[in-house]
Amino acid sequence: MNTMAYEYEEDIDDDKTEEEKEQDRIKQELLESLAASIEDKFQRRASNRRAKEQQWLRSAELYYGKLAFTGNLINRETPFELTSYANRPDVNVVRSKCSIAIAQTFSMQFGTGNKNWDLWPAKTNTDEQASAKAEAMSAVIEQQLDDSNYTGVCWKGMRDRVVLGTAVLKGPANVGKLVRSYVQLEGSTTWVPDVSVDYSPELKYVNPWFFYPDDTVEDLKNLGDTIEVHPTSPLDLKKLIKHEGFRADAIECVLENKPEEYRNENWADFARLSENNANLFKGKYLLLEYRGPITRTQLDQLDIEPCYDSLNDEYYGEVWVCDGQVLRIELESIEASFRPPYYMSVWEKDPASVFGFGVPLMMEDAQRVVNETWHMILDNSSMSSGAQVAMHKHMVEPANGRWELGPNQIWYLTDPGTSVQEAIQFFNVPNTTDMLVPVMQLAQGFAEEESGIPLITAGLNSPQAVDSATGQLVIQQASTTLLDFMSEEWDNCVTEPVIEAWYGWNMQHNPDPNIKGAFKVDVRTSS
């Protein structure tokens, strides 16, 4: 694989001329300035994103319910104020809706086992072998996606899109991955492991909590640059020395200083989501991966020569920074793409952010009503399950000294002139379950309307279902309308640009001439 990486080694020789030393000084100052600007941009974006992260936290708490660590549930006396009351039973309607949405959208994409895209010769392609080459290119891309666990990566993204509102994928990643193989020692029967780097294109899942895109836009197509955070252990940082394009001397400089013991100040809520895990990100370096414009002036000073002419003297590239050191700087893997290699799909669009809203936030009010109604049903059932007692305490006295009802209990009348009916009266609390259950069902119906995910799509009974066979058929046919739309949105935002990126990567880097040509991507929406 061809790379345009800059590898600068701090090796000052007495033989260097003053001009060479001056050039080295300028390069080092440029690298330090570039690292500082990226770290500063990350800190600003992390500070400005608190509101969106609070939405993610609320979404996760609604989805996990009591599995979440917080224990913030609804108090029966103040149903609209979150208080800690961990022993109250709840009914989690959010998780079932999210699970249905994840399963259905995944099934629409991959349930048949066949790909929903293909390559066709472009109208301008006059090559007689164009169809055969397009078919060969399609087979190569399909195999590359299978090798990078395409379905598994998409499943993780679809889960984030439903729960957090946003799926983030990245590719083709050109850092490469370490591959272990075995070689036989010459003149021996011993085989030893050999580690090499595989530069095949790879699709990667990106956790939205660690993704910091340009926050001055609300549309992914207009993103200027992105920063992805990699909490990295010292061992993983050492492994990067094996990767082509990483500056070994800069990595060794970073490793001279131990990482801060805890680096989770930006993800404290994330670390405490399911339990208070104080060790999450302990002893980790914060490795920042910047993807965005690099000026021609900067490239010239770093002796990096682009392979094409840009319209505005800016080129997209990647810069990896850790603790003030630039560990890697390289031009984009697909030349002239002019965009960061990230793909985002949202469930509900946020008009002020590239991130979206997930299903849990859309159902938050319905979940509160269901929980509160369920609490009232349980409280009322408990109170109405046995008789309530009113007594004149000075007129009666329990024989065993215990003021509680029980079998074969003996009571003494302390006032001879008083009858039992005057001393003790029993009454029953009315059971209102029949009146509360319709309220709970109404809230469940609102949950289906607000989420657009009826239970019937999962083969379960739905409050919206009707008794007639015709009504059932109509509802069944229309039940996946929203999910069909969401599947089409996924194809537009993820499937199509991913296939186009893999096509561009193979056109640029694949040495096989029998798969190359002018092709167009055709995505057949799964729905």
Torsion of CA 62, 65, 69, 75, to 10 degrees: 90
Exposure b/e, 391-423, CB count within 10 A at least 16 = b: eeeebbeeeeeeeeeeeeeeeeeeeeeeeeeeb
Lookup result for tokens 């074969």: 408
| Residues paired with 82 in a beta bridge | 74
pLDDT tens for the chain, 527 residues long, are 444 444 444 444 556 688 778 888 888 888 899 999 999 999 999 999 999 999 999 999 899 888 776 544 444 444 444 444 457 788 888 998 899 889 888 988 887 777 889 999 988 887 788 899 999 999 999 999 998 899 999 999 999 999 999 999 998 876 567 678 888 888 888 888 887 777 788 899 999 999 999 999 988 888 889 999 999 999 999 988 878 789 999 999 999 988 876 666 777 777 777 666 667 788 889 999 999 988 888 888 888 888 777 777 788 889 999 999 999 998 888 877 788 899 999 999 999 999 999 999 988 888 888 888 888 988 888 888 888 888 888 888 889 988 888 888 888 888 888 888 888 888 888 888 889 888 888 888 878 777 767 654 544 454 555 455 555 444 445 456 677 888 888 999 999 999 999 999 999 888 999 999 999 999 987 55
Q: What is the pLDDT of residues 343-375, one digit of tens each?
A: 999 999 999 999 999 999 988 888 888 888 888
220: closest CA among 57, 341, 310?
341
Per the structure block, which two tokens stand in for 108? 């629409």
Torsion of CA 206, 212, 218, 221, to 10 degrees: -60
243: closest CA among 322, 327, 145?
327
141: closest CA among 452, 507, 413, 466?
507
Lookup result for tokens 């040495």: 511
Per the structure block, which two tokens stand in for 5? 């990486």
Per the structure block, which two tokens stand in for 184? 């036989």
Asked if residue 452 lies in contact with residue 482, where contact means CB atoms within 8 angstroms, the answer is yes
Report the residue count for the chain: 527
Asked if residue 130 lies in contact with residue 121, where contact means CB atoms within 8 angstroms, the answer is yes
pTM over 0.85: no
Give the model's pLDDT for residue 175.
59
Give the model's pLDDT for residue 5.
45
121, containing H or E segment: strand 117-121
Give the model's pLDDT for residue 153.
95
Q: What is the pLDDT of residues 69-84, one digit of tens each?
A: 654 444 444 444 444 4
Give the model's pLDDT for residue 14.
56
1: closest CA among 502, 504, 512, 510?
510
Residue 527: CB atoms within 10 Å: 17
Amino acid type, 350: D
DSSP state of 481: H
Lookup result for tokens 């066709």: 120
Angle between helices 433-451 and 364-384 (to 10 degrees): 170
Asked if residue 215 lies in contact with residue 48, where contact means CB atoms within 8 angstroms, the answer is yes
Give the model's pLDDT for residue 36.
94
Enumerate residues 6+ apart whose C-beta is below 8 A from 107.
none
Asked if residue 206 lies in contact with residue 43, where contact means CB atoms within 8 angstroms, the answer is no
